[in-house]
Amino acid sequence: MFATLPRLIRIPLVLLLITINVVAHVLLLFVFTLFKVIVPIRSIRLGLSRALVLIAESWIAVNSAMFEWFTRTRWQVEGLDDLRRDGSYLVLCNHQSWVDIPVLQKLFNRRIPFLRFFLKSQLIWVPLLGPAWWALDFPFMKRYSKETLARQPELQGKDREATRKACEKFRQLPVSVMNFVEGTRFTRAKHAAQASPYRHLLRSKAGGVAFVLDAMGDALHAILDVTIVYPDGAGTMLDLVAGRVRDIRVHVRELPIGPDLRGDYEQDAAFRERFQTWINALWQDKDARIGRMRESTDHSTAGE
């Protein structure tokens, strides 16, 4: 709609509208969160939690609409059929850029339960957004280096305990738990430093996925395996706003959660080996899929 406006006008206008959208929705979130904090009745608190999710979904919907209005990004998406708003999912995805988050939000908003991410604890200090994530029950995780754990062994297991507490909250309502399995954004430098066996991915981190599956139990009914490809490079959030992310390709497939995917990852060596084999196979499939998605893009471009 407004994608033809000169960038000098379009980019500041988009940034202004995004800021207004954030402020308006976050302030509304804070009002409902205040009531949730002070009201002790569990049924009312659950109702307020649902209201908070509706506000967040409205926030995402407005952001997604603005990207439609102000950019000419071409989308190619497979696998969104048969998703359920009343189900609960573990969403597993490759990770390349902060752009991944608005992409996932746009695709899944109001198609599945509200997406929640595990966030680094430092992000709670981000103005407006940090408190908003806290109000929406996003779990904040502290990550400790091996050196820190060696100096302070009492910190061992703190992140797992935080995950378990978050999962206990998630069991009260339908939820979608998001996990970037690589644990960090893909870069060529990280890929080389890891000596990753994959062409397009970093090594998978199985422990966090296994822990969520075990902690959530039968509250999760399926896994959504999501693959995102940016044929021209992922870029930054500003690139997305400016319309420089020209093509986005996404593949989604639903996987069952069998009893073989639940167990004690830390204490059961046999289960740990089986789970690592499963997630490595998943990652091999994803790596091959990224290659095919890139090839199909190259062929379609050559034919234009």
What pLDDT, on the 0 to 100 scale, is given for residue 173? 76
User: What's the pTM value of the predicted model, to 2 decimals?
Assistant: 0.88
Task: State pLDDT tens for residues 162-204.
Answer: 667 777 777 777 889 999 999 899 999 999 999 999 999 999 9
pLDDT tens, position by position, 218-274: 889 999 999 999 998 888 988 988 888 999 999 999 999 999 999 988 889 999 999
Count structural domains, the chain. 1
**Inter-residue contact 293 to 285 (CB < 8 Å):** no
Structure confidence at residue 149 (pLDDT): 60
| Domain contains 247 | yes
Q: How far apart are CA 172 and CA 84, in angstroms?
A: 17
Query: Is residue 196 in a domain?
Result: yes
Q: Given this model, what pLDDT does residue 229 score? A: 97
pLDDT tens-digit series, residues 2-41: 878 888 888 899 999 999 999 999 999 999 999 988 988 8
pLDDT of residue 217: 82
Predicted confidence (pLDDT) at residue 300 exceeds the cutoff of 60? no
pLDDT averaged over every residue in the chain? 87
pLDDT at 302: 41
Domain with 227, as residue range(s), is 73-302
Strand order across the 222-229 sheet: 74-78, 247-255, 222-229, 89-93, 176-180, 115-117
- Per-residue model confidence (pLDDT) at position 304: 42
Tell me the per-residue pLDDT of 79-104, one tens digit each, with 9 for 90 and over.
999 899 988 999 999 999 999 999 99
Residue 57 covered by a domain: no
* pLDDT confidence of residue 34: 92
Q: How confident is the model at residue 143 (pLDDT cuts 50, 70, 90)?
A: low
Q: Which of 63-67, 166-170, 263-267, 280-284 has the lowest mean pLDDT?
A: 166-170
Identity of residue 271: F
Residue 279 pLDDT: 96
Question: Quick one: which H or E segment has residue 73?
Answer: none
Assigned domain for 214 exists? yes
Question: Distance of alpha carbon 142 from its chain centroid, rounded?
Answer: 18
Residue 163 burial by Cβ neighbours in a 10 Å radius (0-12, 13-18, 19+): buried
Q: Does 268 fall in a domain?
A: yes
pLDDT value of position 282 = 97
Q: Report if residue 237 sits inside a domain.
A: yes
Residue 1 lies in a domain: no
Q: Is residue 3, in this structure, part of any structural domain at all?
A: no
Query: What was the pLDDT predicted at 298?
Result: 55
Confidence of residue 297 (pLDDT cuts 50, 70, 90): low
CATH classification of the domain holding 152: 3.40.1130
